[in-house]
Chain A
Amino acid sequence: MSRSIRTAVLIVAGIIWLLPVYLLVINAAKSPADFTSKEAWLPNGFALFDNMADALSLSGLGDAVLSTLIYAVVSPIVAVLVGAAAGFAIVALRLKHGFAWFVVIFGGTVFPLQMVLIPLFDGYSRVGLFDTRFGMVLIYTAISVPFSAFVMRNFFSGIAHNVFEAAVVDGASTWRIFTRVYIPMAMSALVAIFILQATFVWNDLLLGLTLSQSDDVRPIVTTLSGMQSTYGGAQLSTVLAAGILVSLPTVVLFLFTQKFFAKGLALGQY
């Protein structure tokens, strides 16, 4: 196919692909009074921000924003560093049986999340971590570690061992080599993992449903899921506005970092 035909096909397909987003936005912008689901395709008024404000004040969505932000920032940062440390131990420090240890860590992603839900719920209740922000940060971190270790091990494999040896000759400690040499070199990969894991945490439903209860601990997506069953009819526009509000941060994050993110992962492959 010639380039111009390909471009035309892609533009048409792209427009079709965005139709659901168009529907979401115009219907979320209808004020509850003007909302009628009979005219889904026609825009009618612009009450998007009012609807968002309603969504935030009703249903505890506002309370959920701060805690979700904490989960989606803190957990991936810790996980990325823990994963990088594991990769550093295996690749640069040549940990004995390093590959076996890598398999132990990476094996954590092979099992479905459903396998850990009940004991986490049960155990969290017993030790007082149920419905706490710390408990949520902890599990989101643990879940993000295997993927982070996977990418970082690959990434560090691509760095010549001379780099490590040169730093040793200069008299640097392993901690110093890790924080001053390896971490700075891996910035693009670290950010790529961070973005992926932050998106995952922000969008998580299952752990939020299982391990939290109160408005200020519940992650935002879990709150949205609850709203969907509580509201109906005329207030659908409010729920749709809440849907936009919840999705906006990850969409923006993704769009602004697309190039960077592709680069970080591509480096990680080799």
Chain B
Amino acid sequence: MSRRDSTSYQWSARGFIAPGVILVAVLLYAPLLWTTYLSFTEYNGLGDPDWVGLANYGAMFADPEFFGSLGNTLLWVAGTLIVPVGLGLGLALLTFDLKGGIWLRLPFLIPYAISGIGVGLIWSFILQSDGALDQALALVGVVDPPRWLLDAPLNTVVMILASAWQGVGVNALLFTIGLQSIPKEPLEAARLDGARGARLFGSILWPMLRPLTAVVIGLSIVASLKTFDIVQGMTKGGPGRASETLALTMYKDTFVNSDYGLGSAIAVFLTIVTLVASVLYLRQQLSKKNEI
């Protein structure tokens, strides 16, 4: 196609891209800027915001509960990377090339379609004191089970596992799509050369899965930083504020305590952490790619 031809559709192209750009600009970017501005103000939702500079950030870092919330959030990031991503990959490898694999994966996909609140509901029922899990443990002779949802950091750990119960299936599905897209020839060649199991995985499957792994891990980091639903559904951040995540702290400070400035400051902090994590991760991922 000549240069002239490729530029002749510019007006029509602008028309096609405009709806997307306008929606995103008005409903996502404009609010984003406004939140950043609000984080430097004192505002309770009524009247006008008062400029207070960095006072909200000062208050945020002075609050010991904030660091508890930050710690829980980091625990969520680490837990989400290890459990659902790891198990998802394991599941994809187990079902890979297996007859009826699609049916064998099905039980793991069902929880994914259940909402975070639904998952929270099921698991609080299971984990409540004297609940289903404690009853099962009593049968095998455990008389004094841990207080699953009442003690920190155990409550965060069990919520991470509940969230893993929900997330493994979709990670497995994504890894399966990745495995299926690996060209058959190198795989067959490696098998003929006698590569099996761990060796086949290490030398062929894992390197070829890397672009997909980058996406899955990136999505997991971003999603776990924003963890809200399951915690809201299981402990509401409690007892006290022991299992709060940053997303929950932000929600409470803003909409329960009507401190919009502080809520905005937490949102900005959360955003910076998310961006830094994404950039660090992507950079590391890109440098790895160059080594191959």
Residues of A within 8 A of B (CB): 1, 3, 6-7, 9-11, 13-15, 17-18, 20-21, 23-24, 27, 37-41, 82-83, 85-86, 88-90, 93-96, 98, 101, 104-105, 107-108, 110-123, 138-139, 141-143, 145-146, 149, 161, 165, 174-175, 178, 199, 202-203, 205-206, 209-210, 221, 224-225, 228-229, 236, 239-240, 243, 246-247, 250-251, 253-255, 258-259, 262, 265-266, 269-270
CB distance from B234 to the nearest CB of A (A): 10
Picked from B15, B95, B263, the residue with its CB within 8 Å of the CB of A10 is B95
Q: Which 10 pairs show the lowest CB-CB distances between chains A and B?
A: A89-B16, A203-B115, A14-B107, A119-B31, A142-B27, A40-B132, A93-B13, A95-B13, A116-B31, A119-B34
Count contacts on B: residues with CB < 8 A to the other chain.
Answer: 94
| Dominant secondary structure of chain A at its interface with chain B | helix
A-B pairs with beta carbons under 8 Å apart, 19 shown:
A9-B94, A27-B125, A37-B130, A38-B130, A86-B21, A93-B12, A105-B17, A110-B274, A112-B222, A114-B271, A118-B31, A122-B45, A221-B115, A225-B233, A250-B114, A253-B113, A254-B112, A265-B174, A266-B181
CB distance from A214 to the nearest CB of B (A): 17
The yes or no answer to B99 lying at the interface (CB within 8 A) is: yes
Chain-A contact segment, one of B75-83, B141-149, B224-232 = B224-232
Chain-A contact segment, one of B56-64, B152-160, B247-255 = B247-255
User: What B residues does A41 contact at CB under 8 A?
Assistant: 132, 135-136
Picked from B17, B136, B197, B270, the residue with its CB within 8 Å of the CB of A112 is B270
Docked pose: A258 CA to B117 CA in angstroms: 23
The answer to whether B16 touches A246 (Cβ under 8 A) is no
Interface string of B96-128 (1 = CB under 8 A from A): 001110101011111111111110111101101
> Assuming the A-B contacts A96-B10, A247-B114, are A114 and B31 also in contact, with contact meaning beta carbons closer than 8 angstroms in the complex?
no
Picked from B6, B99, B115, the residue with its CB within 8 Å of the CB of A205 is B115
Docked pose: A127 CA to B119 CA in angstroms: 35
User: What A residues does B232 contact at CB under 8 A?
Assistant: 205, 225
Segment 264-292 of B: residues with Cβ below 8 Å from A: 264, 266-268, 270-271, 274-275, 278
A-B contact sample (4 more), CB < 8 A, given A115-B270, A117-B35, A258-B102: A17-B168, A111-B28, A116-B27, A266-B177
Segment 185-244 of B: residues with Cβ below 8 Å from A: 197, 222, 225-226, 228-229, 232-233, 236
